Amino acid sequence: MKIAIGSDHAGFRLKETIKNSIAGVEFVDAGAHSEESTDYPDHIGALSRLVQRGEADRGIGICGTGIGASITANKFSGIRAALCTNVFMAEMSRRHNDANVLILGARVTEESEAVAITRTWIETPFEGGRHQRRLDKIAAIECGG
């Protein structure tokens, strides 16, 4: 699996921790590349475009709270970004919403919890069925329906 991952300066350390803690995944790093101040829309936008174009299977975005990253990623057509603060939310975001971008808040989520959230999100499949019908309705809204 190829996952685009990006953060601002606040999420840089957590981004690096996740990249080094999750085996069996090819990470495409959309920045930031240090803790020097940067703007989350630049990096979250870059990872969202990679997912949108099919150059990455999924994406992970990280900022201080996850709120700005979530707002940014969800501006992109076809992106279903879920801000997850615990393992249950990560599981449900995949099972019921087929979230293709995981959003984490580096300043509000403990590192070990963020890694557990990420593992769960990567490993959990989409259930389809009635949930697909709902995703189709969301896609119609994106197209102006």
User: Which of the residues 43, 96, 131, 143 is marked catalytic?
Assistant: 96
List 9, 33, 43, 63, catalytic entry: 63
User: Chain-centre distance of CA 32, in angstroms?
Assistant: 15
For the question of residue 131 being annotated catalytic, the response is no
Q: Is 96 a catalytic residue?
A: yes
* 3-class secondary structure, 117: helix
Collapse the DSSP code of 7 into the 3-class scheme (helix H, G, I; strand E, B; otherwise coil) and give the result: strand
Q: Is the dihedral of CA 73, 75, 76, 78 positive or negative?
A: positive
Q: Check: CB of residue 60 under 8 Å from CB of residue 75.
A: no
| Residues annotated as part of the active site | 63, 96
